[in-house]
């Protein structure tokens, strides 16, 4: 195929210890009335108070909305929108984990264009630019600070649903690893595993035949030369730092490398997209109320095995990026070693082995498969075409823990 690459990313991306202090300088250039979206725990943190005070001292009229809760039910976004309207916000700042950043995105959207979040579900449903966004993550996981998607929980939907548009990419992302130092080991593990899954899925997504309209036909365009570079960079940094950061939260180098990896993984999948692991996690998350990062991480080794025949060279490159010694092995053995190493890394930080361990029941497997197929933007990105019967095979293997069953079925379609 001809060389092709593109990136969807913020205008400004700042990474480094202490860079949170750059916030006010960016904010004053974008607006005068700032809505700051966060959660209740962070709102009580002294460092967050200092961040808000810096905005006020710079002359911004600032209103904090701290009603964000995990998994982002749409009703909590309404409170942020109400707070923004009360001050006539012309700038939205999100500070926190992925749910806080996604809440800021959707609040900025609704403050600009009105309506309900459900009006914008899917791809390219946002008609025009939204209020300027500045996003500052406090976890090393979702990469939402740099991506064109926000994911919400809607009580009228069985699974979580996404709003995907280049218009909700932040204007400025500020990534300060010092903000992650207090992140507990369990959250560090599931967030970092989520980021690693983003990078692996971005690197193994379908490479589409390029056309001169491809960037307007898909928000997530699939594997390309630029996203590949960021995906491999992310894999290298996350694999070398995830367990270290979980074992010792005070390991500053590990915290830096993990956040750096999560952010560049966001750059990779924010353009290339994710695939089957995320599609299956959406119904599982709704059924079991387990963390998103745990669900996608459980699925990833099974998805890699399922896709093996369609991306074996990429699996070898992933193993090399992980730092594995693959010399003297066949390609099949190299790919197997890569999947095994990922499985072992996730186990070492407490990620469960199967979706049964997450609480999925055998009686729910057919529903998981059916609902996973409903995530069209993810299914169409998978390197191996998926239909309901092959999705059922994947889900059954992830339930039983038998990856060898996927090897037998790897070339069935």
pLDDT recorded at residue 159? 78
pLDDT recorded at residue 3? 92
pLDDT recorded at residue 70? 86
pLDDT recorded at residue 412? 47
Q: Are strands 33-39 and 133-137 parallel, antiparallel or unpaired?
A: unpaired
Q: Which helix (H) or strand (E) holds 356?
A: none
Q: Are the C-beta atoms of 272 and 231 separated by less than 8 Å?
A: yes
pLDDT recorded at residue 407? 74
User: Mean of the per-residue pLDDT values for the chain?
Assistant: 95
> The tokens 């400025």 sit on which residue?
172
- What's the whole-number mean pLDDT along residues 300-306? 97
Q: Are the C-beta atoms of 81 and 107 separated by less than 8 Å?
A: yes
pLDDT recorded at residue 154? 87
Q: What is the DSSP letter of 317?
A: H
pLDDT recorded at residue 156? 83
CA distances (Å), origin 180, targets 72, 138, 247, 275, 375: 20, 5, 14, 27, 31
The model's pTM is 0.95
Q: How far apart are CA 101 and CA 340, in angstroms?
A: 33
pLDDT recorded at residue 413? 43
Chain-centroid distance of CA 340 in Å reads 23
pLDDT recorded at residue 195? 98
**In sequence order, which ranges of 205-272 are alpha helices (DSSP H)?**
214-217, 225-247, 252-272
pLDDT recorded at residue 404? 87
């Amino acid at each position: 195929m001809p060389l092709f690459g593109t990136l969807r990313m913020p205008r400004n991306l700042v990474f480094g210890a202490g860079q949170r202090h750059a916030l006010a300088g960016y904010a004053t250039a974008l607006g005068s009335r700032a809505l700051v979206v966060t959660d209740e725990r962070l709102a009580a943190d002294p460092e967050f108070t200092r961040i808000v005070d810096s905005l006020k001292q710079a002359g911004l009229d600032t209103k904090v909305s701290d009603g964000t809760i995990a998994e982002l039910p749409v009703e909590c976004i309404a409170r942020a929108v109400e707070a923004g309207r009360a001050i006539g916000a012309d700038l939205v700042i999100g500070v926190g984990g992925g749910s806080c950043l996604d809440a800021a995105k959707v609040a900025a959207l609704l403050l600009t264009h009105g309506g309900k979040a459900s009006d914008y579900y899917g791809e390219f449903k946002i008609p025009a630019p939204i209020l300027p966004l500045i996003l500052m993550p406090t976890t090393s996981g979702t990469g939402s600070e740099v991506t064109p998607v926000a994911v919400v929980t809607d009580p009228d939907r069985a699974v979580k649903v996404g709003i995907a548009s280049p218009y909700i990419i932040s204007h400025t992302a500020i990534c300060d690893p010092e903000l992650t130092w207090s992140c507990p080991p369990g959250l560090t593990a599931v967030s970092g595993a989520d980021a690693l899954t983003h990078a692996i899925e971005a690197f193994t997504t379908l490479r589409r035949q390029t056309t001169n309209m491809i960037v307007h036909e898909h928000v997530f365009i699939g594997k390309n030369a630029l996203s590949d570079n960021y995906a491999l960079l992310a894999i290298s940094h996350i694999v070398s730092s995830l367990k270290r950061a979980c074992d010792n939260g005070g390991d500053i180098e590990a915290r830096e490398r993990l956040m750096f990896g999560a952010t560049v993984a966001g750059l990779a999948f924010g353009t290339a997209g994710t695939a089957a692991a995320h599609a299956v996690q959406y119904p599982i998350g709704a059924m079991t109320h387990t963390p998103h990062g745990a669900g996608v991480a459980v699925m990833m080794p099974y998805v890699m095995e399922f896709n093996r025949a369609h991306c074996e060279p990429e699996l070898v490159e992933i193993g090399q990026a992980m730092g594995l010694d693959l010399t003297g092995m066949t390609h099949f053995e190299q790919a197997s070693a890569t999947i095994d190493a990922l499985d072992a890394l996730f186990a070492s930080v407490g990620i469960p082995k199967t979706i049964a361990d997450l609480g999925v029941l055998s009686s729910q497997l057919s529903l998981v498969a059916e609902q996973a197929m409903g995530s069209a933007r993810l299914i169409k990105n998978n390197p191996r075409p998926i239909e309901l019967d092959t999705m059922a095979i994947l889900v059954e293997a992830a339930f039983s823990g038998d990856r060898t069953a996927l090897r037998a079925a790897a070339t069935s379609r």
